[in-house]
């Protein structure tokens, strides 16, 4: 299973709008786990969104334009990301539709939407815990937990929450 999270330049407000109107991925974090939720491998990268970040995104994530300077474009990390997903049949994300659509829009912009090894089983962990990931993590990890809003950190926290909930996949 791949536990996946992205940070983006904003929210998807209308999926029917073309990819050119959609937010861009600025960070990808993914954790490959076995059936006992042991970490097998991780994937983490910044992505150059092709413009400056809105101030509210920097406030939420701590990611700055300076941090993204020199980061690869999505098309440049596509092969590594696809290789990471290859052979996996299950993916989990908190609010999975958002993460999945952010990925789809990036792939559409590159003309690659049908060339990605999509997972056939997608677990939206909001079906287990409908609230915010940070609230669930506080229940699992303790009151002192503070969400980082960074892609790999959030993917690892989600892995911990799903493991604690003993969710089969």
Whole-angstrom Cα distance, residue 43 to residue 32? 8
Size of the chain in residues: 169
Where on the phi/psi map is residue 77: left (φ > 0), alpha (ψ -120 to 50), or beta? alpha
Whole-angstrom Cα distance, residue 70 to residue 93? 28
Mean pLDDT, residues 53-75 taken together: 96
Q: What is the pLDDT of residue 106?
A: 96
Render pLDDT for 68-101 as a digit per residue (tens, 0 to 9): 999 999 999 999 999 999 999 999 999 999 999 9
Whole-angstrom Cα distance, residue 129 to residue 110? 34
Position 27 pLDDT exceeds 80: yes
Mean pLDDT, the chain, as a whole number?
94
Position 121 pLDDT exceeds 90: yes
Q: What is the pTM of this model?
A: 0.93
CA atoms lying within 13 Å on the CB side of residue 25: 32
Q: What is the pLDDT of residue 115?
A: 80
Task: Quickly state the pLDDT bin for 147 (edges 50, 70, 90).
Answer: confident
Per-domain residue ranges of the chain: 2-164
The CATH-assigned architecture of domain 2-164 is 2-Layer Sandwich (3.30)
Q: Provide the sign of the torsion angle of the four alpha carbons 98, 35, 86, 121, taken in this order.
A: negative
- Listing DSSP states for the chain in one string gives -EEEEEEESS----TTS-GGGS--EEEEEEEEE-TT--EEEEEEEE---SSPPPHHHHHHH---HHHHTTPPPHHHHHHHHHHHHTT--EEEETTHHHHHHHHHHHHHHHT-TTSS---SEEEEGGGT--S-HHHHHHHHH-TT------HHHHHHHHHHHHHHTT---
Position 133 pLDDT exceeds 80: yes
Mean pLDDT, residues 92-115 taken together: 93
């Amino acid at each position: 299973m791949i536990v996946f999270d992205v940070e983006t330049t904003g929210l998807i407000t209308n999926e029917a709008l073309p990819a050119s109107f959609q937010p861009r991925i600025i960070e990808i974090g993914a954790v490959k786990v076995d059936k006992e939720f042991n970490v097998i491998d991780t994937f983490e990268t910044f992505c150059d969104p092709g413009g400056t970040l809105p101030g509210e995104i920097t406030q939420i994530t701590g990611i700055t334009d300076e941090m993204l300077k020199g980061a690869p474009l999505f098309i440049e990390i596509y092969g590594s990301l696809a290789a990471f997903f290859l052979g996996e049949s299950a993916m989990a994300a908190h609010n999975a539709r958002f993460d999945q659509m952010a990925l789809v829009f990036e792939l559409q912009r590159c003309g690659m939407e049908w060339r990605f090894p999509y997972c056939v089983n997608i677990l939206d962990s909001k079906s287990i815990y409908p609230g915010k990931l940070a609230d669930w993590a506080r229940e699992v990890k303790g009151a002192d937990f503070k969400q980082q809003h960074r892609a790999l950190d959030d993917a690892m926290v989600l892995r911990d929450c799903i493991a604690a909930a003993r969710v089969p996949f």
